[in-house]
């Protein structure tokens, strides 16, 4: 990726930069001073939409020098979805990193296919520690043998000597459960007015004869 130096300035300068087809960015890390730069948003989007996403490590050229970097933060325009700003971090290839990678489900769980359950993915990303060259694009989890009530925890994930999982080993990643039965609660809620309504009607019937009886007793006195 080609980057150009820019002077850190106000929002008006950032808007003018965007009209040229570039967007403002900041490059920092690796014990070097932060640099205000301008980059091509098309190249950033290509990285973000790749298989490894924002965990992609790429070369960035600035002032004739090349460094390894990755996208750590980005900002979209809320209405049209255009990229507005990007934060890039220099990467030291010999230093381990802490980052999160997505979970990919493989297969169809037995508890879903044969027992009518549902697959609940609790952790969509896993926190890991590894060297930059060992960052996986995702972590595959085979759920084929999961029956109803079964689960896969962090401690059950595929082991890799180059990767250390940072989540609690007992944390549930995915499990098979049943849909909650809410029908009885709905029936009871619907039945409540039916029980209360006859009481109102009975009270009305009891009060109506008394109201009609009062004028009948007073009529003879007026004559």
Rounded to an integer, what is the distance from CA 116 to the centroid of its chain?
26
CATH number of 93-216: 2.170.120.20
4-90 placed in CATH 2.40.240.10: yes
pTM: 0.69
pLDDT at 182 over 60: no
Give start-end residues of each CATH 2.40.240.10 domain in the chain.
4-90
Q: What is the H or E stretch that residue 26 is in?
A: strand 23-29
Give start-end residues of each CATH 2.170.120.20 domain in the chain.
93-216
How does pLDDT run across 26-37, given as a tens digit for each residue? 999 988 999 999
How does pLDDT run across 37-90, given as a tens digit for each residue? 999 999 999 999 998 999 999 999 998 899 999 999 999 988 888 999 999 999
| Average pLDDT of the segment spanning 157-174 | 96
Q: Tokens at residue 44, please?
A: 């950033």
d(CA 76, CA 83): 4
Is the Cα torsion angle 125, 126, 131, 133 positive or negative in sign? negative
d(CA 116, CA 158): 27
């Amino acid at each position: 990726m080609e980057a150009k130096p820019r002077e850190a300035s106000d929002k008006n300068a950032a808007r003018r930069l965007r009209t040229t087809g570039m967007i403002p960015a900041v490059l920092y890390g690796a014990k070097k001073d932060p640099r205000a730069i301008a980059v091509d948003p098309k190249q950033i989007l290509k990285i973000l939409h790749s298989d490894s996403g924002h965990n992609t490590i790429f070369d960035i050229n600035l002032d004739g020098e090349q460094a390894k970097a990755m996208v750590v933060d980005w900002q979209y325009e809320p209405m049209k979805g255009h990229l507005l700003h990007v934060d890039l971090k220099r990467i030291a290839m010999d230093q381990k990193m802490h980052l999160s990678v997505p979970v990919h489900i493989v297969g169809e769980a037995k508890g879903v296919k044969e027992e009518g359950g549902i697959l609940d993915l609790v952790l969509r990303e896993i926190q890991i520690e590894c060297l930059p060259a060992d960052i996986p694009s995702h972590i595959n989890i085979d759920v084929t043998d999961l029956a109803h009530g079964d689960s896969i925890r962090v401690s059950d994930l595929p082991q890799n000597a180059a990767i250390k999982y940072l989540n609690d080993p007992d944390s549930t990643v995915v499990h098979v459960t049943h849909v909650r039965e809410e029908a009885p609660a709905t029936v009871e809620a619907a039945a409540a007015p039916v029980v209360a309504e006859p009481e109102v009607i009975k009270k009305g019937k009891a009060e109506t004869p008394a109201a009609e009886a009062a004028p009948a007793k007073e009529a003879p006195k007026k004559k």
